[in-house]
Amino acid sequence: MKQVGIGLIGTGFMGKCHAMAYGAVKAVFGDVPTPQLEILCSIDAENARRSAENFGFERWTTDWRDVVNDPGVHIVSITAPNSLHREITEAVAKAGKVVYCEKPLALTLADGIAMAQAVREAGVASLTGYNYLRNPALAYAKKLIQDGAIGQVIQFRGIYDEDYMADPDLAYTWRCRTEDAGTGALGDLSVHLISVAHYLIDEIVQVMGDIKTVHTQRPDPENNGQPGTVENEDQANALIRFRNGVHGVIGTSRVAWGRKSYMCWEVHGSTGMIAFDQERMNELRIYRNRGDVADQGFKTILTNTAHPPYGQFTPAPGHGLGFNDLKVIEVAHLLRGFEGRETLYPNMDDALHIERVIHGIVSSSQQGAWLTIGD
Amino acid sequence: MKQVGIGLIGTGFMGKCHAMAYGAVKAVFGDVPTPQLEILCSIDAENARRSAENFGFERWTTDWRDVVNDPGVHIVSITAPNSLHREITEAVAKAGKVVYCEKPLALTLADGIAMAQAVREAGVASLTGYNYLRNPALAYAKKLIQDGAIGQVIQFRGIYDEDYMADPDLAYTWRCRTEDAGTGALGDLSVHLISVAHYLIDEIVQVMGDIKTVHTQRPDPENNGQPGTVENEDQANALIRFRNGVHGVIGTSRVAWGRKSYMCWEVHGSTGMIAFDQERMNELRIYRNRGDVADQGFKTILTNTAHPPYGQFTPAPGHGLGFNDLKVIEVAHLLRGFEGRETLYPNMDDALHIERVIHGIVSSSQQGAWLTIGD
Amino acid sequence: MKQVGIGLIGTGFMGKCHAMAYGAVKAVFGDVPTPQLEILCSIDAENARRSAENFGFERWTTDWRDVVNDPGVHIVSITAPNSLHREITEAVAKAGKVVYCEKPLALTLADGIAMAQAVREAGVASLTGYNYLRNPALAYAKKLIQDGAIGQVIQFRGIYDEDYMADPDLAYTWRCRTEDAGTGALGDLSVHLISVAHYLIDEIVQVMGDIKTVHTQRPDPENNGQPGTVENEDQANALIRFRNGVHGVIGTSRVAWGRKSYMCWEVHGSTGMIAFDQERMNELRIYRNRGDVADQGFKTILTNTAHPPYGQFTPAPGHGLGFNDLKVIEVAHLLRGFEGRETLYPNMDDALHIERVIHGIVSSSQQGAWLTIGD
Amino acid sequence: MKQVGIGLIGTGFMGKCHAMAYGAVKAVFGDVPTPQLEILCSIDAENARRSAENFGFERWTTDWRDVVNDPGVHIVSITAPNSLHREITEAVAKAGKVVYCEKPLALTLADGIAMAQAVREAGVASLTGYNYLRNPALAYAKKLIQDGAIGQVIQFRGIYDEDYMADPDLAYTWRCRTEDAGTGALGDLSVHLISVAHYLIDEIVQVMGDIKTVHTQRPDPENNGQPGTVENEDQANALIRFRNGVHGVIGTSRVAWGRKSYMCWEVHGSTGMIAFDQERMNELRIYRNRGDVADQGFKTILTNTAHPPYGQFTPAPGHGLGFNDLKVIEVAHLLRGFEGRETLYPNMDDALHIERVIHGIVSSSQQGAWLTIGD
């Protein structure tokens, strides 16, 4: 197996998640190279030092360019703030290294396009962090659909709601500003839902959105608690149409009290239905019009060793994976892709299409008209 | 209490439901007049005779005009095919009697407008059959919203799916033709969801729809099994906006395998959320941002005597009402309205607004543009 | 069809339930005689008069013997306090009329034995009120078991919990005294669970119980709020063995906060499992070890027209029956039994065996030893 | 922080689980020493070599004594077959090292007693692998109970069912023999449930069990498929009483189709109830008799950062931990215990009491009488 040196930029929520995945992937999967944790970057020196120790990295820095330029680094995990994604990605690509970037790509579509182009032109491999795609339950859903278990797909419906900004009294922060955060719920949450829709159904090619900021002002602690105007959407709903002709609808909110990771979707087929809820991520529900009507109902399948790669984590069925385990699966894919054994998905181009959709939802909402997703 | 003579037109699914409700209402509620079951109509004489015997009606006929003109009849239950609703309603109104008409009003918006006008001009009372509105759980949801239990309402989302036409091989029938059935899933199912939205939130004033017939042809038994073209929608999704500024989204399908009475809605508020699923009609779910974060979660309330009029059916909490019980509550309301003790809701005008919404969804879908619901 | 005159003794919770069922049964089922509601009895005259009016009875009385002796009465519904069941039952039997008695039979086993004997000797038909047995979901469960859908039955587990006495500060009443109420949770709740176990599996022939009164004293309003000693059990658990060799366990509590009608059971089989919860009485869950392991899971079946007699209530699947609907099904059975078209079950003897089990649980608990249920 | 050298004996299901936990604990928790993965043992050399590489151990061996005697090893993870637990534990204790042994302790109570004694006499620290105890949901349940959130505890009910031996045609193996496996479902599953009961309520001091082998014979592949007689129990139910006077009941099956990790328990209190199901391990359900009756219901809490140590895994609420994460928490406890910062629980003595209960259930079942758990 090839030597694989890892650089990590960012040590927050997702940075730690990446680090844990690198640390676990060899024990879990075995058939991947052992990631060499070379260097990580945090802008705070003490945090960088401590994170390096905790995560098992050899070196640390406060300048992300050190990570990019480190000769021992082959793959760069980009978990820095979204506003830095473009600059870092372009640097990593230019350095000829693998770009492993968390979603969303960037604050603006233009930046996303530039990033995808940089990666394409540099000819480097890339993977974007859509870890919900790694759920064995989702892989099984896709297999079921492909095998015709629910016949011809006729509709997709999805929701991704959370409540991390549901409190109207929550402080005004960078998250509220387009310049710093880009879109709101769309970039944070909808992109995941769209990634699932693309994975399961087909590319979304037309959208008609309706976005709304419901908590329009929040107290700004940097301005004596005076109200700051929230610039991006709290909620977004959109009618959608797929390339294969299927219609659907998606909705997202970051102000939905009680929802913690409520990515809920259902695929309607001509002979059945598949449904899923990320808050119960080890369950997949399927209904088939098969056999006696008296005996039909939604079946709740607990993921198990028959749903790869569940069995890599435990041979015991229904014992349950967690959020962080999905990242381990993603990193295994990354490493196999690095060795040329698998084709990385979703790469920058795939991710770009996801972001075209969310920006299309914003535009269609502003125009009050259907919009065709461009290339 | 006043004497209340009842006439019933139609003895099918909803006709029987009305009959059962008339038979039960006095025992359940006590404080209503005893309905006098005068005369019912079915176009089939033998069925009419048998139904009169089973349902406890004094007389029967095969001509609905006999019901309308029967001097003992004060209230006419109209459960005939939708295509007859207009003619019958106009006759009942003209006869100065109370119109109790099942949803939807009519096949076309024009007919609906005419019906509402006839009732208005005749000055008769009217009630439309939106029995899901009678659920004690719904009444409690409305109370909670009004009492501010979830703060300011910020979004409404709803689905009403069933699978009664999910089988693509199901025969081509009158249900597939606009002339005979009007709209498809919208008129059958969405109207219920809209009735709930109007009841809980406010009137819907703008819509942007996307309707689709997914099983475009069905074998026509009256044409040697040759394919007949389905004229109305199997699915409908719509972005919606309420008069009070709240945005939302609704979706409906009659081809959603596994869904039997899946009217699912959620009301997002600034301090909480309320959610409901008609397939578990005795449960209401509420989340409040209150107290310790460690202790927050969706609470599932089983309806009980604290949710009137549940206690009229049983003093035992959580023992459960059924679909037909909701009609009994509706009929109690009808009888109290007849006595002038309650204001009938939704009357023809209220129902007309619901139908303006579904026809607005069709129009906006055809035009691909937002549409403002007219008066 | 035969003329069937009905007498009703008691107009409380279950009296009203009987009355509603008599009023609905003909409309719902059609193929039964129309019950003639002759006379009802309540010890309070005004209540008797009003109940007769509301329930549609011809006459009323405050003396239950008037009901028994009324020449127009063929069937007597006994919903009076349990302490009166024996005396009334013996009178009805002696009068040669059908005994339709709510569970439990009596306060003591001796009384129950006497009642069963009286009915047997009089040669009259009898039916006991175990309405949960009437659930179409249960009938389907039995059919599945009989058809071998879960292979050989290997275990039964059941719980019936409610919280009607969960508040320790609730007043001391007749319910707390053995003399007035007999057993506690066992007689109120466990009997239902045992009725289901007998229906689905076989007769219980051995028990090893553990009963407990957890709120041993309650304030007695008739004694200036001084503590009164609760004499019967709040909780009961029991290991059980069936005649066919299956083992199991049951538990019951009347002090289980949050449980409203939580009769939950599961039947384990050699190839599958069936599970049920009365609080979601329109759902049955089944797991089969069949087909691909990847595709196995518990299926939730919503009752529908394929589960007779659901379709008598509505042709719409999954729309849901309620608690009172089960009584309508029971009364239809009663009437068909009256006409000799069906064999009444559970009759007094069947009910007696249920009560032998609960009294066996008490005895085995007191003795701390297994007890064989006698005949 | 102290240097902590780890030795691992066994590389199967639980061996890998230990290895993953050692690999993750520093990244997840930070405030623990970094475990030095010194040496592991597998009886198969190739497996040992590969496991050492995958899990990141420095050395490997096929003789477990090498692990025990390795001078760099301070803690020995014992995940070897249960039949070896005693011998290894005694050796580890004798070597003065920390014993970290998977449940159950041993095949016989005598062996368990000997192990606990060996550890006690050697004065070494010990921890037993009861990872379900590490669930943040459980810690919160305990806190709620201690804080009086459900008043006084009045009952405990629990089930732990799986279906790993549910297929009657499954081969006869060592698991079926008392000599090789000890008890059946009790030792595999019940011990977990009892660990929870001890943790939440108090020690169980009296039991009355009923155990049963339902699939009494299985085809023995080592004997030409001839039937081998299963010697240990498939099912076990038991009435239980706690030291503090609370009564309860527990049940376990290894032949319960559809159950994958169905450790379900409920704690009844005088003012509320708490319920849990391991198959939905990130949810805790609580009912409180508080406030308006109309507003009472079971609340489903999704674990989050307010339930330590959930936040060590992710700051995002409701995103979910998995089975393996619980082991990471256990190992963090082990390491803190090693440093003297926490008292290890459950140690060998605590585990011994758990095993006294399961052996008590066997004895009481054989004797058909209540049994007091001895010391």
pLDDT in tens, D86-101: 999 999 999 999 999 9
Transcribe D70-114 into DSSP letters.
-TT-SEEEE-S-HHHHHHHHHHHHHTT-EEEEESS--SSHHHHHH
Using left for φ > 0, alpha for ψ between -120 and 50, and beta otherwise, residue A197 falls in alpha
**Which helix (H) or strand (E) element contains residue C162?**
none
In sequence order, what are the beta bridge partners of D210? D237
Query: Each residue of A186-204: b (16+ CB within 10 Å) or e?
Result: bbbbbbbbbbbbbbbbbbb
Least Cα separation, residue A148 to chain C (angstroms): 14
CA A185/CA B289 separation, integer angstroms: 20
| b (16+ CB within 10 A) / e for D47-82 | ebeebbebbbbebbbeebebbbbbeebbbbbbbbeb
Q: Is D257 on the interface with B (CB under 8 A)?
A: no
DSSP state of A187: I
What is the number of helices (H) and of strands (E) in chain D? 12, 17
Is D292 within 8 Å of B298 when comparing Cβ atoms? no
Are A257 and B157 in contact (CB < 8 Å)? no
Kindly determine whether residue A257 and residue B150, on different chains, have CB atoms separated by under 8 Å.
yes
What single-letter DSSP state applies at residue C103?
Answer: S
Q: Do B235 and A154 touch (CB under 8 A)?
A: yes
pLDDT of residue B1: 54
Residue-wise pLDDT tens digits, D117-163: 999 999 999 999 999 999 999 999 999 999 999 999 999 999 999 99
Chain A CB within 8 Å of residue D167 CB: no
**Which residue of C46, C53, C323, C335 to mutate against B (max B Cβ within 10 Å)?**
C323
Read off the pLDDT band of A2 (50, 70, 90). Answer: low
SS3 A149: coil
Backbone torsions φ then ψ of B83, nearest 5 degrees: -65, -15
3-state secondary structure of B155: strand
Total number of residues shown for chain B: 375
Question: Would you say residue D1 has pLDDT above 60?
Answer: no
**pLDDT-based confidence at D375, cuts 50/70/90?**
low
Nearest-Cα distance to chain B for A72, in Å, is 44
pLDDT at A152: 98
- Confidence category of residue C374, pLDDT binned at 50, 70, 90: confident
Which position has the token pair 């000819």?
Answer: A123
- Interface membership of D251 toward C (CB under 8 Å): yes
Q: Do C306 and A293 touch (CB under 8 A)?
A: yes
Does the beta-carbon distance from A20 to D27 stay under 8 Å? yes
A34: pLDDT strictly greater than 80: yes
Closest partner residue to B280 among C30, C280, C315, by Cβ? C280
Q: Which residues of C touch B16 (CB under 8 A)?
A: 27
Contacts of D137 in chain A (CB under 8 A): none
Asked if A289 reaches chain C (Cβ–Cβ under 8 Å), the answer is no
Contact C287 D258 (CB under 8 A): yes
Q: Which residue has the tokens 């003093």?
A: B315
- Say which residue the tokens 């006499």 belong to: D121
| 3-class secondary-structure state, position A312 | helix
Strand partners, A241: A206, A247
> For residue A373, what are its two tokens?
């997703």
CB proximity A291 to C under 8 Å: no
Burial of B359 (0-12, 13-18, 19+ CB in 10 A): buried
CB contact (8 A) between residue B24 and residue C24? yes
Alpha carbon distance C252, C210 (integer Å): 11
Q: Which residues of B touch D301 (CB under 8 A)?
A: 294-297
Taking the CA of residue C278 and the nearest CA in chain A, the distance in Å comes to 18
Q: Which residues from chain B sit within 8 angstroms of residue C315, using beta carbons?
A: 13
pLDDT of D2 reads 62
Is A295 close to C294, i.e. CB distance below 8 A? no
Across the interface, whether the CB atoms of D306 and B300 are under 8 A apart is answered no
User: Does any CB of chain D come closer than 8 Å to the CB of residue A27?
Assistant: yes
With CA atoms as reference, the chain D residue closest to C215 would be D270
User: CB of A5 within 8 A of CB of A76?
Assistant: no
D307 at interface of B, judged by CB pairs closer than 8 A? yes
B129-146 mean pLDDT: 98
For residues D268 and D152, is the Cβ–Cβ distance under 8 A? no
Closest in B154, B298, B370 to A368, CB measured: B370
Q: Is the pLDDT of residue B351 over 80?
A: yes
Q: Which chains does chain C touch, 3 or more C-beta pairs < 8 A?
A: A, B, D
3-state DSSP call for residue B184?
Answer: coil
Distance CA(B295)–CA(D223), nearest Å, equals: 57
For chain B, give the mean pLDDT.
Answer: 97
Domains observed in chain B? 3-132 (3.40.50.720), 133-367 (3.30.360.10)
| Structure confidence by residue, pLDDT tens digits, B1-35 | 568 999 999 999 999 999 999 999 999 999 999 99
Average pLDDT of span A17-35: 97
Q: State pLDDT tens for residues A302-322.
A: 999 999 999 999 999 999 999
Q: Confidence band (pLDDT; 50, 70, 90) for B218?
A: very high
**Predicted model pTM:** 0.97
pLDDT of amino acid B374? 81
Size of interface B-C (CB pairs under 8 A): 118
Record: contact A155-B253, CB cut-off 8 A? yes
Q: What is the number of other CB atoms lying within 10 angstroms of the CB of residue B345?
A: 17
pLDDT(A272) > 60 = yes
Which chain D residues are Cβ-neighbours of C144 within 8 angstroms? none
For residue A298, the distance in angstroms to the closest alpha carbon of chain C comes to 5
What's the pLDDT tens digit per position in A163-174? Answer: 999 999 999 999
Helices D109-122 & D82-94, crossing angle to 10 degrees? 20
D 96-155 near C (Cβ less than 8 A) = 150-151, 154-155
Contacts of C23 (CB under 8 A, 6+ apart): B23, B24, B27, C37, C55, C56
pLDDT 10s digits, C77-108: 999 999 999 999 999 999 999 999 999 999 99
Report phi then psi at B10, rounded to 5.
Answer: 105, 135
Check pLDDT > 70 for residue D194: yes
Of A20, A260, A317, the CB nearest to D28: A20
For position A51, what pLDDT does the model report? 98
Choose among A253, A60, A298, A27: nearest CA to A158.
A253
> Does any CB of chain A come closer than 8 Å to the CB of residue D315?
yes
Partner-chain contact D249 C251, CB within 8 Å = yes
Q: How confident is the model at residue C2 (pLDDT cuts 50, 70, 90)?
A: low
CB contact under 8 A, D56 and A27: yes
Statement: residue C307 has pLDDT above 90: yes
Rounded-to-10 torsion of CA A8, A12, A16, A18: -50
The count of residues in chain D is 375
Interface test with D, best of A319, A329, A335 (most D CBs within 10 A): A319
The pLDDT, as a whole number, for residue C203 is: 97
Inform me whether the C-beta atom of residue B55 falls under 8 Å from chain C C-beta atoms: yes
Q: Is C342 on the interface with B (CB under 8 A)?
A: no
Q: What is the DSSP track for A57-92?
A: -SEEES-HHHHHH-TT-SEEEE-S-GGGHHHHHHHH
Q: Each residue of D228-248: b (16+ CB within 10 Å) or e? A: bebbbbbbbbbbbbbeeebbb
CA distance D165 to D234: 8
Share of chain B above pLDDT 70, in %: 99
SS3 annotation, A1-14: CCCEEEEEECCCHH
Residue B17: other Cβ atoms inside 10 A:
27
Between strands A262-269 and D247-253, the pairing is unpaired
Whether the per-residue pLDDT at D294 is higher than 90: the answer is yes
- State the average pLDDT over residues A94-99: 98
CB B230 within 8 A of CB B218: yes
Per-residue confidence (pLDDT) for residue A221, from 0 to 100: 95
Q: Which of B231, B279, B283, B282 is nearest to B256 (CA)?
A: B279
Section B172-184 average pLDDT: 94
The CA distance from A271 to C2, in Å, is 48
pLDDT by residue (tens digit) across D227-281? Answer: 999 999 999 999 999 999 999 999 999 999 999 999 999 999 999 999 999 999 9
| Residue B82 DSSP symbol | G
Q: Is D257 on the interface with A (CB under 8 A)?
A: no
Kindly indicate the confidence band of residue A355, based on its pLDDT and cuts at 50, 70 and 90: very high
C309-351 tens-digit pLDDT? 999 999 999 999 999 999 999 999 999 999 999 999 999 999 9
D260–A313: do the CB atoms touch at under 8 Å?
no
Helix/strand/coil for B369:
strand
